[in-house]
Structures are given as C-alpha cells and as structure tokens.
Structure 1
C-alpha cells in the first residue's frame, strides 16, 4: 500500500481520536476505513455508562460505511491511547472488531496500527485473525 495513503489514513484516524467520547476509560481511539471505491469512513470510540452499548472506533467506521451500502474495503488505520498520553502505544483492534472485519473484508485487507504518521505497523486480516470464521463458513 502506498505510504502517502497510509499517512492520510493515520492522520484522519488521529483526528477522530480527538473527538472520542470516553468519560469512563479515558482511552481514546480513532479509525479511518478506506473503501475500495476510494471513500474514507471515520470513527471514534463512544462509551456508555452501562458499558455494553459502548462501540469501538473501528466498528463505528465500518457501520457508517455499511449503512451507506458500501461493502468492499481496502484498509483501516487505528490509533489510540490514554487521553492524556504524551506518547501513544500501538492499539490493536479487539476481537469483536476483528470479527466485523472478517465479515466484510478479504484476505488482502490491510490493518494499520499506528502511534503516529511516522510510526506504524501494517498487517493483513489473516495475520490479525488467523483461522477466521466468516461468511464462507456459513454460506459454503
């Protein structure tokens, strides 16, 4: 994947991190999802006092895209950390987010885990979720 695109996705994800709603955990995450049509869908994590309705940044981005009938994706950038962190650590997607990716993404889907535009790691979906369970397992 082109480094310029990676940096643009990380930048958009970092912007979303800043508007996360995290009054309980104070752990802010932003995501930027690149659809195959070139459109970028962004998301931030949104918490709730009862925790169960809380949604991760990655799923927010996916569900925004899916609600607009977009179903094919190329890559996602994820950046997160404590709201008061001076330096971020790598923030990997949770199991639920990985399963959502498995539902809508092919094996060549790229997952960018970033601390900044200059510090990031790139994975494929099979590296993040080996032996994954997806639509092919149900539909045949």
Structure 2
C-alpha cells in the first residue's frame, strides 16, 4: 500500500484595513471606487476589484449582471479582461470587496471558483503568485492571501502542455 502525505501550509493573514501597507491601501481604495460602478439589479450585491500590474498601473473592474444570468461577469474577471484589452498581462496583486445593498459587512468576499481559475492563469502568465487582498465592506477586516492559497493544486496551462512565453507581454 502506498501512502501519500499532503501537507498544506497557509500564510493567510487576517488584519484590518488600517494595518495594510500604503501600497495595499491604495489598491483597496481603487476597489471601493470600482464597487460604486457595479451593475447589480438582480442580486443587489456589488463587487469591486482592482488589479495592480507589475509596472504599478491599477486596473479596476466591477460585477455586471444580466437578466439571462449566464452572461453576467464578476468584478475580478471584469478587471482581468479589461487589463488584457489594455495590454496588461503581468500582475502583482488584486484586491476585492463585496457589498450588499442592505448593509455593510465585517465579512470579506472571496473570489468565486471561476475567478480563482482566471486569477491563477494570470499568475502563470506573470510568472509568480499573485497577492490577494480581501476587505470587508465596513473596512474592519482584511485578509491578505494569495491565489496559490485560494486555489491549491490548480489546473493550468502546463497541464495542457501550453508554454506561455509567447503570450507574455
């Protein structure tokens, strides 16, 4: 009988908005700006995201819902698609905040599975893990983590034999 031992470690850090670095707070502030641009007439839940490219440029996105539901897009994917259209494929960090129309929350909103997969592929294009900053809508709680922690043992381009060098900009 073969035994496999898997050890999972975590460096996920729970903190507060005030304890984030100035660079992290700048990204989070852009996320709150994006939150106000969400189009969410069905769920009444807004999500804002902000990506920091490796050159320091910040690209934002917001969730956009649709009556057919399927065509809706999350804020994280909105930011990634917008960044790609602008010529950016190298990122260092992503911040996310979600907020119900009904109230502020002290709980953070994390990316859904589809967004995690897209962020993971962006990390592969970037050649390194991407820092993820999740902040509660009342700014009381923040969690600093990474895409490799949020999506361990991820499936990606390498599993399909794809070399990403030609897609990096």
The interval holding the TM-score normalised by the smaller chain is: over 0.9
Q: Which has the larger radius of gyration?
A: 2
SS state at 2:51 partner: strand
Which stretches in structure 2 are left out of the alignment for 5+ residues?
1-19, 163-169
Asked whether the equivalents of residues 108 and 141 of structure 2 are also in contact (C-alpha less than 8 Å), the reply is no
Q: Does 1:48 align with 2:70?
A: no
Aligned to 1:114: 135
Deviation at 1:12, TM superposition (A): 0.7
Query: Structure 2 CA distance, aligned partners of 1:132 and 1:44?
Result: 25
The total of aligned residue pairs comes to 139
2:101 to 83, 98, 103: 83
Query: Structure 2 CA distance, aligned partners of 1:117 and 1:35?
Result: 24
Query: Structure 2 CA distance, aligned partners of 1:87 and 1:134?
Result: 33
Query: Structure 2 CA distance, aligned partners of 1:92 and 1:21?
Result: 19
Deviation at 1:117, TM superposition (A): 4.9
* Shift in alpha-carbon separation, 1:117–1:74, aligned structure 2, 3 A: farther
Which stretches in structure 1 are left out of the alignment for 5+ residues?
none
How high is the TM-score relative to the length of structure 1?
Answer: 0.92
Moved segments of 4+, more than 4 Å: none
Query: Structure 1 CA distance, aligned partners of 2:161 and 2:98?
Result: 35
Deviation at 1:127, TM superposition (A): 0.4
Q: Does 1:136 align with 2:158?
A: yes
How high is the TM-score relative to the length of structure 2?
Answer: 0.77
1:103 to 121, 127, 148: 121
Asked whether the equivalents of residues 113 and 121 of structure 1 are also in contact (C-alpha less than 8 Å), the reply is yes
Deviation string, structure 1 residues 59-107 (Cα, Å, up to 9, x no partner): 0100011112211110000000212313342100000000101111144
SS state at 2:67 partner: coil
